[in-house]
Chain A
Amino acid sequence: MQTVTATQLKRKPMTSSAQPDDPDHAAALLALVATEQSRQAFSELFSYFAPRLKAYATRQFGNEQTAMDLVQETMTNVWNKAHLFKPDRGSASTWIFTIARNIRFDFLRKNKHRQHDLSADELWPVLAEQNDSLDDDYALDDDLLMQQLAGYCELLPKAQRIVIELIYVEGKSQQEVADALGIPLGTVKSRTRLALQKLRELIHSDD
């Protein structure tokens, strides 16, 4: 199989039928935002999460403008800090929730202008650039991560590898893959899921 490199992972729009509430798919989208600022991937995340964030923020603040500010600040962090998402720590939606939780915490204190007020990132260092503990050396360089991923792809069963390649390298939708290979859509979905699961295990076994 050809090597999956960051540069190859762009091109065709990623219009797979998976929704961002599928944890593996959402994590893959975040990885694309992190490695190459994929607008396609970010737009997909945005259209799924922004309205849900707005609903959350509206409940919390009861104020339209503040709610919009929270959505904007949260999604801006997703755009700028996607490289800080660590799939081994939890799902993409959990990560986005913790970002929103922190922003809400700071918003609630911002207008009081009190000295000494605790800031959210002291309590929950969700967006700290550093590893907060020494045993966590998971923060791999992106290129290294991509190379490693390519290596792991070689270890997948051939049927799964082909599906992953078509979806994540060539940017085909799951339906297109099913048509191209002449197999049912359900089979494409299950192969994708199994492959992503396997990749995750391989990454973790290397810790």
Chain B
Amino acid sequence: MIKFHPNEEHLFHYVTGDLSPAMLMMVGTHVDMCPHCQTQVRDMENTVANKLFGQEQAPKELFAANDSFNGDAMLQQIMSQTPARDESRITGLLADELVLEGKRFKLPATLARSQHRIGEWHKLIGQMWRAPVQIGGEDVLTFIYMDKGTRVPEHTHKGREATLVVNGVFNDETAEYRDGDFVFLDGSVKHTPETRDEDCLTLAALDAPMQFTSGLSRLLNPFSSLFFK
């Protein structure tokens, strides 16, 4: 049972396409995994569509937008095409598995469609690995894999961090997060994620490098760019 969801604003802007590419991927992947948010998304799509295309749209605005709209020419041009079904685009099943360290993970549909964007895995520290997902845009999307019994040194973010559990479980000071859980933190929150008896594959979106805040791990700050890019 998923306990942590993107907030309503994230979902709405996922529907309208007004989030950064990294956040769109994060929210889209959560929606793949979460029947509750799938319903929300459909409702929001309907609401937006009704607002845009409802009969009650102010006629004034419609006329203003269509002063010089030569609809007929466009209509004829479109209908002069013969709809052809592009059977070649009917693809079979997507390759939807990620293999790491001999373990296999099933990817939700959004990630499976973007599998060609997943870069090489690099070992970070201890039993942590990361692989970038190259999607363009300013912010960064990355897989982070933690083997069981792994702790990320306490850190904050200058910007915001969103984390989604793709498979497994991790804990921080406040809660336990499992498959599908979506955690959104702003720069003010310090946290120390760790795994215990299970490993954990997460997807993270960061819009600024991590800052390690405690004791010796501050020495890691020069390497924080490893997490970031």
Contact across chains for B84 and A75 when beta carbons are under 8 A apart = no
DSSP majority for the A interface?
A: helix
Q: Quick one: which of B28, B57, B68, B83 has the most chain A CB within 10 A?
A: B83
Is B102 engaged at the interface, CB distance under 8 Å to the other chain?
no
Contact across chains for B25 and A118 when beta carbons are under 8 A apart = yes
Count of chain A to chain B residue pairs whose CB atoms are closer than 8 Å in the complex: 140
- Closest CB of chain B to A87's CB: distance in Å? 13
- Closest CB of chain A to B89's CB: distance in Å? 5
Residues of A within 8 A of B136 (CB): 109, 114-118
Given the interface pairs A51-B62, A51-B71, A71-B74, the reply to whether A123 lies near B110 with Cβ below 8 Å is yes
Chain B interface residue count, Cβ-Cβ cutoff 8 angstroms: 51
Chain A interface residue count, Cβ-Cβ cutoff 8 angstroms: 59
Contact across chains for B25 and A51 when beta carbons are under 8 A apart = no
Is B85 engaged at the interface, CB distance under 8 Å to the other chain?
yes
Residues of A within 8 A of B55 (CB): 19, 21
Interchain CA distance A99-B5 in the complex, whole Å: 26
Contact across chains for A21 and B54 when beta carbons are under 8 A apart = yes
Interchain CA distance A75-B73 in the complex, whole Å: 13
Interchain CA distance A96-B62 in the complex, whole Å: 18
A residues contacting B by CB (< 8 A) are 19, 21, 37, 39, 42-43, 46-56, 58, 64, 67-68, 71-72, 75-76, 79-83, 89-91, 93-94, 96-98, 101-102, 104-105, 109, 114-118, 120, 122-125, 128-130, 132-134
B residues contacting A by CB (< 8 A) are 15-17, 21, 24-25, 28, 42, 45-46, 48-50, 52-55, 57, 61-62, 65-66, 68-69, 71, 74-75, 77-79, 81-87, 89-93, 109-110, 113-114, 117, 134-137
Not counting A118-B135, A120-B17, a sample of 11 additional A-B residue pairs whose C-beta atoms are within 8 angstroms of each other reads: A21-B55, A46-B75, A71-B74, A79-B79, A80-B81, A94-B46, A114-B136, A115-B136, A117-B135, A123-B24, A130-B91
